[in-house]
Structure 1
Amino acid sequence: MLYLIGLGLGDHTDITVKGLKIIKQAKRVYLESYTSIYCDDSIDELEKFYERPVIAADREFVEQNSDQILANADIDDIAFLVVGDPLGATTHTDLILRARDKGIEHRIIHNASIINACGCCGLQLYNFGEVISIPLWTDQWRPTSFLDKIEANINHGLHTLCLLDIKVKEQSIEAMMRGRQEYLPPTFMTVNVAARQLLESIEEKSKQQTTKLTADTICVALARIGSDKQKIIKGTLQQMINVDMGPPLHSLIIVGRPLHHIENEMLTLYTMKQQ
């Protein structure tokens, strides 16, 4: 049996009782480390808590060694651990389909993810539209398709949860061209960078048409949600350029509709001071 087990958002103690029991009994335990991470817990700490060896599984490992992960899963229990919820990222449906093709059963052990935990700021979850990802720009690559999706949500009166890019064990273009196994330092997009990219995208698009998203649009910055060090700040998109949210992981919510009075009252707890 292949088990995809959600670990929650805060730290190793967020594992469910059911998930922990499976981990302790599994033949092998893998930790996916590219769609999200624990910022404070190392693999050594997880191994100590689980009392089991844990195999790190980066994107390259999962994409190129799925057969190794699924080896003997028809007779043994294999645990594949994911920070947050196992299917918070669609990446892992591929592993499920590969298991199916091999006649291997799977089971999902759910946990909290940023997609539902973002409700901690007081915005009502049923008022959210499509979740989007904002990728880190490079000098040669500056996609803006995320702006169209945000505006579609605004047109429908819906808030937008923006997941901010993380890059773990990424190769530089030079390293790939030379065939070298050299990796760039981990990079985590901050709210500041996301706000700056959004404002530049608005400026570019506004040369051709009016945008619903503006520098004055209300936003909510989130950091380390689920941990004891979580931080929430409400302000305009323009203000988000200067907000200090501290260490990763960060997310950003674009408010897309007039607020219910309870939402508005909750957000007063996190309103950014005028500068």
Structure 2
Amino acid sequence: MLYIIGLGLGDERDITLRGLEAVKKCSKVFIEAYTSLLSFGLSSNGLSTLENLYGKPITLADREMVEEKADDILSDARHSDVGFLVVGDPFGATTHSDLVVRAKKLGVDVKVVHNASVMNAIGICGLQLYRYGETISIPFFTETWRPDSFYEKIQRNRVLGLHTLCLLDIRVKEPSLESLCRGKKQYEPPRYMTINTAIEQLLEVEQMRGESAFCEDTDCVGFARLGSEDQMIVAGSMRQLLKVDFGAPLHCLVIVGKTHPVEEEMLDFYKLKGESAESKHNQTA
């Protein structure tokens, strides 16, 4: 059996009872480490914290392992129980759907244990989940690569009055272009996009496209470390959020569409009102 187990968003304690039972059954346990990270994922002892609670050794599965060596994981699952841990919910990233398809083609049984995901945890700001349009991803710009395909999606959402969740780039164990050209992989240091960088890139694309999908005065909500004890949620215009220090990763951003009075009432709790964002908006729930 292959168990794909959601870990939730906060720390090692956010696993469900059903998920913990599944982990304890498994002879091998992997944790996916590139589409997201737990709140302690930047610390040197993050993995051992998990191992101590779950009572199992855990293998870190980077992008290369999952995308190139998935058959090794799946072949083990033909003969024993294997656990594959995913931050958030197993289907928050399309990579894990691919793993299920490959498992089923090999005749491996799959059980999924769901958990909280950024896709529903953003509801804490008061914007109603069924009023969201298509989710977009914003990649880091480089000198030679500045993609803007997400612009049309934001534009469509805005025309329909829908909110847009923007997931921000995470670059973990990415080979540098220079090393690939030399034929010997060397990895760039990890990078996690901030809300500030995302807004700068969005405004750059708007300036280039000039179709008024959004502007500096467009209302947004910035989320940092969503689901953890020190989560931070700040609502304000793009111009205002540019000046806020959201602290450590992970960050995500919501571009606000047309709002209902009930949404506005809840959103108002997170709005900048002249005092420092650190004192007013370093909020937990």
Which residue is equivalent to 2:281? none
**Structure 1 residue 31 and structure 2 residue 35: aligned?**
no
Checking the alignment, whether the CA contact within 8 Å between 2:176 and 2:185 is kept in structure 1 is no
Q: Do structure 1's residue 227 and structure 2's residue 228 form an aligned pair?
A: yes
Alignment deviations for residues 185-227 of structure 1 (CA, whole Å, 9 cap, x no partner): 1100000000000000100001xxx323121110000011110
- The residue that corresponds to 1:186 in the other structure is 190
Q: How far apart, in 2, do the equivalents of 1:55 and 1:152 lie?
A: 41
Q: 1:269 is matched with which residue?
A: 269
Match of 1:132 among 136, 148, 152: 136
**Counterpart selection for 1:157 from 157, 161, 165:** 161
Q: 1:40 aligned to 2:40?
A: yes
Question: 188-197 vs 230-239, which deviates more?
Answer: 230-239
Deviation at 1:77, TM superposition (A): 1.0
Contact kept, 8 Å, 2:222 with 2:233, in 1: the verdict is: yes
How far is the alpha carbon of 1:67 from its aligned partner?
1.3
8 A Cα contact 2:32 2:62, kept in partner? yes
How far residue 273 of structure 1 moved from its aligned partner, in angstroms, is: 3.2
Structure 1's consecutive aligned runs of 4 or more residues displaced over 3 angstroms after TM superposition are none
Mapped pair 1:172 → 2:173: no
Aligned to 1:54: 58
Count of aligned pairs: 271
Amino acid of the structure 2 residue aligned with 1:23: V
Q: Say which is worse superposed, 109-118 or 36-45, in terms of deviation.
A: 36-45
**Is the 2:223–2:231 contact (alpha carbons within 8 Å) kept by the matching residues of 1?**
yes
User: Structure 1: where are the runs of 5+ without partners?
Assistant: none
Question: Aligned-residue CA RMSD in angstroms?
Answer: 1.1
Provide the rounded CA distance (Å) in 1 between the counterparts of 2:197 and 2:125.
21
CA distance in 1, matches of 2:172, 2:225: 17
Give runs of aligned pairs for residues 53-132 of structure 1, distance below 5 A: 53-132=57-136
Question: What do the CA deviations read for 1:156-177 (whole angstroms, capped 9, x no partner)?
Answer: 1100000000000011101111
Aligned to 2:278: none
1:248-263 equivalences under 5 Å are 248-257=249-258, 259-263=259-263
Q: What one-letter code is carried by the residue in structure 2 that aligns with 1:9? A: L
Secondary structure of 1:79's counterpart equals strand
| Residue 274 of structure 1, CA deviation | 4.1
Deviates more, 1:85-94 or 1:179-188: 179-188
The structural deviation recorded for 1:4 is 0.6
What is the TM-score when the length of structure 2 is the normalising length? 0.93
Identical residues among aligned pairs (%): 51
Moved more, 232-241 or 78-87: 232-241
What is the Cα deviation at residue 75 of structure 1? 3.0
- Aligned: 1:243 with 2:247: no
For residues 209-253 of structure 1, give each alpha carbon's deviation from its aligned partner in whole angstroms, at most 9, with x where no partner exists. Answer: x32312111000001111000000011112222111110000000
SS at match of 2:3: strand
